[in-house]
Chains A and B, each alone.
Chain A
Amino acid sequence: MAEKKCSCGCCCNSGKTKEYNVSGDEKQCTLADLPVGTKATIVKIMPQARGSKKFADVGIVPGSELLIEAHAPFGGLIRVKVMETSMAIHKDEAANIVMEEDSNIITEKDKD
């Protein structure tokens, strides 16, 4: 997996114009921005997020680690692995989940 990093050291999909969906906090980006194959940890869930309780019940809580497994062919859904289970969530909701990439993990795991 190519490791591209933007200046902030986070995981934003670099290459084109950088986009930050998180206002006032430039060190992180949201689940909606992460490329496939990244492993990242949830930092916080924005207060305006809908369904936070539902997400909490499947393990999408601050501190848990996610693996971005796939993006749906026609957009919209993101497939993430959380606590060893694959879950599909919608981009709109993913945009309210603030993430921080753990770069150590990705290099270690992607060697094998």
Chain B
Amino acid sequence: MKRPLYLLPLLALAGLRLAAQPSFEGPAPSTVPEIDEDRRRAAYVRRVDEMLGWAAAGGKARTDDPAKLDLAMIAAKIVRGEDLPGCSQRVIELMREPGTGPFWMFPTVCIAYLGRDRLAPEALASIRTAWKTTRQQRGDTENHFVMYYASLYLMAELYPDESAETWYSGRSSAENFAEASAFLIKWIETNTTVGQGEFNTSNYIGEYAIPLSFLANWSKDPAMRQRASMMLDWLFAELATSSLNGVLRGPHSRTDEGAVIERWQAMTSFFSWLLFGNTPPTAGYSGWGLYFAPLAKSYHLPEVTYRIATDRRGDFIQRDRARVRRLWRYSDELSPPVYKTNYLRHDYGVGSTTGGLIDPIQSHVWDVTWAESDPRGKHPTMFSLHPHSSSRAMQSSFTAYPEPWIKGVTFEGKPSYDSPDKLMGSSPYEQVFQDLDTVIALYAIAPGERFPHINGFFSKDLINVTEDDSGWIFAQGGRAYLAYRPLAGYHWIPYLHYKSGWAKERLDLGGRVLTSPHLNNGTIVQAASVDEFTDFAAFQRAIRALPLAFKLEPLPAVEMTTLRGNKISFTFGTVPQVNGRAVDYRAWKLFEGPHLNAEVGGRKLTITHGRLERVLDFNTLSVTNRVK
């Protein structure tokens, strides 16, 4: 990321010392896979050391003032054996004002374990005291629960046989341990049988990976260590199949305004950098990433996963399942299944779910995302959505009163929720079908809905955008040709960028939003590689020649033949057909594709690349590697 030059004199005047974050500030890394295992491991260790060094040298505070040490910096110093008395003193200070939930719990667990034989007894006691005096919120989402219970599990193990009145929960160590253990085992059971609720998140991956790494290293129970280690492999295998040169692309159960547009700006990019070395890390290693660093050297990424993540020579398609977060109200099912399609090619990826309400605020249903040699600052993506804002949807997923919360969530890291030009979120009025690199998104928005239009994103990084007389809009992004077909009239509005989920201010960085104010509506996007055509004009001719018929009344319906020769028939509210055969979603496996395979209910994931295979079997808590 380029640091604005004009800031440098100001920072110098302020006397701040800029702690180097070399990989963030340097050139983008090569995306050529490192085949030599020793060199690959050495590079991984260097990345870990870079993180620890940056954090120990001041991290985001850019200062070595002991009074400004945060828990991540203290963790790094403990690992490096630096200034342990100062760390102890700072821990005592920080524990005087404890936080109140999982985002405070897991950092303190990190310090409690790292500091067991390094920090002063008074410092360790201060952590333990805070776990008595301050009530901890368990939260209301899957990642909250995982962080909360992994932390509680480890603290109960660290301080066994202690009485109920010594814990904030009013439960004994044994009771806390039993409760936490039961949750963690059930969570793993659910994920390995029907899929994750918070699937393919752009930023919450750390909230799973970090507690799992703690459990994999620090749990006294070998079975829990094994479960956690296997879940880490599972999590990173999904990242490997869902990222293009380290950059995650859609769909996502949860994301934020920044990450859905500047695709690299996500914690997944940090993990891709650390594990795969194929993209730059995010600023400050996404903050939480620093808590993965202390134990990172104990994790050995399976070679098969590395190869999946870095080998983009061939095309592949994965069809996987996940599940919707709990819908407390106004739904026939508590956690309906989600069907994901991911098609990855060398130059771009296309991903989708079938639409509908997934997460009421933060989900992202589909996109085409193209590869960029340096993804920093780029907006390499194209998609459309219905900007749904709804009291009823909020009521489905949350127990809070929805009316004040519609405005309230805009102050809680979801600033766009009630904005008509938003580009994040799912809608009950959207249905999507993807066939390879063709996406058909149909919309039947109910009359009276708050935002009676759809938005399509057109990036500043597109070139040769052409509104063709045929009705198609042609463009090129990176080495991908793109054809976007709005099914109803539209106009353009400027795209205003949220830098992150917490940034309410908006920046005009370029780009446009195609806004189509029609209730019955639709979008077709067809992608192709530049290598497939002699030139852009040839791509356009091919698209114009595709058989296409559509109507919007009484419901949107499309019949078309894709660039890949498949005949698609898709009407809103019905099951799509491919070459005359209805898609049978109920038959979909938990994972199915060349790289990940698992049966629904099977508790077993087979990870494959070429001749390499790794089987994570939660039935037997065993891992099997083989070369076929």
A binds B: no
